[in-house]
Amino acid sequence: MIEDDYLYKKGGVAGFGARLKAIFGSGKFWARSLGVIVLVAVIYYPAGMAIVHHIDDNPDFSGNYQGGSHAVSTAAGLIDREVNQNRWTANDPFFLPSAALDNMPNFQTGIVYALSRFAIELSDQIGRTRGSSQVDPDLDDAAGLLKFRGDKWVFDPGVSLLPGVTSEQQYRQAIRSLESYNARLMNGEAVFERRADNLQETLNRFANDLGSASALIDDKVENPSIFDRTADDVFYATKGRLYAYSLILRDLGTDFEQIINER
C-alpha cells in the first residue's frame, strides 16, 4: 500500500518518463550540451595538441654511452627519448588531443624507420664476422622489433577485441636488445666489425634510402596541389629519417675513426 501510494504521489513510471522528457526536450539542455561540445573542440583539442607537439631535432643529441658502439648507444637513446620522454603520438586514440597531430607522428616514425634500417645493417653486416657468422640474437631482435608499425594502440578491433601489443612495447624491447648488445660488445662477447667495406656498404644503404625519400619530396614539389594534405606528412617523415641518419653517421664516424683516418 505504501509503495502504491508512493507511485501515485510521484507519478510512477509515467512521471519519471515525463521528467526525462522535460529534461531532454528542454532547449536549455541542448544548448548546454552544444556548449560543452564547442568548449571541447575549441579548448581541449587545440590546447592538448599545443602541449604535446614537439619536433625534437636537437643536432647534439647522443645516447648514454657506457662502452661498445657510440652509434648503437645513440640509436637506443633516440628510441627512448621519443617513446618514454617526448611521448609516442603515432598511435594515440581519437579521444586524446594528440591524435589530431600529424607532423610530430610523422617525424617520430621517420626516426624509427631510419633506426630500423641501421639495425638491419648491424644485423647483416657490422655485427657479424665478415657477414658470414651467426646473426647476433640481440641485433636480430632489434631489427625485427623496429619494423613494427608505429600506429598500433592497445586495442585494434580490426584484428581482435582483446588488448594487443602496442608500438611502444615493441620499441621498448628494441631498446633493451640494443643495450644488451652494447653491453656484450663492451665485455668482448659480441662482434662489431670495423672494416672499410662494412662502413661503405652501410653508407650505400643509407644513401639509397635517402634517395627514395628525396624522390617523394621532389614529386610533391614538381606536382603541387592546392588540396594536397600529405605534403607536410612526407616532409616531416623525411626530416625524421634525415635527423636519425645524421646522428648515426656522426657516431659511426667515431666508431670507425681509425679506419677512416687510415684511408
**Per-residue pLDDT for 30 more than 60?**
yes
Q: Report the pLDDT averaged over residues 128-138.
A: 83
Arithmetic mean of pLDDT over the chain? 87
- Measured distance CA(149)–CA(118) in Å, rounded: 17
Query: pTM for the whole thing?
Result: 0.84
Q: Report the pLDDT averaged over residues 74-92.
A: 97
Q: Rounded to the nearest 5°, which phi and psi values hold at 156? A: -135, 90
Q: Report the pLDDT averaged over residues 133-155.
A: 94
Among 103-112, 179-188, 194-203, the least confident range: 194-203
Residues with Cβ within 8 Å of 196's Cβ and at least 6 positions away in sequence, in order, are: 259, 263
For residue 38, name the pLDDT band (cuts at 50, 70, 90): confident
Return the pLDDT at 129.
84
Whose CA is closest to 83, among 178, 144, 162, 173?
173
Q: Report the pLDDT averaged over residues 193-205.
A: 93
- pLDDT tens per residue, range 150-191: 999 998 877 777 888 999 999 999 999 999 999 999 999 999
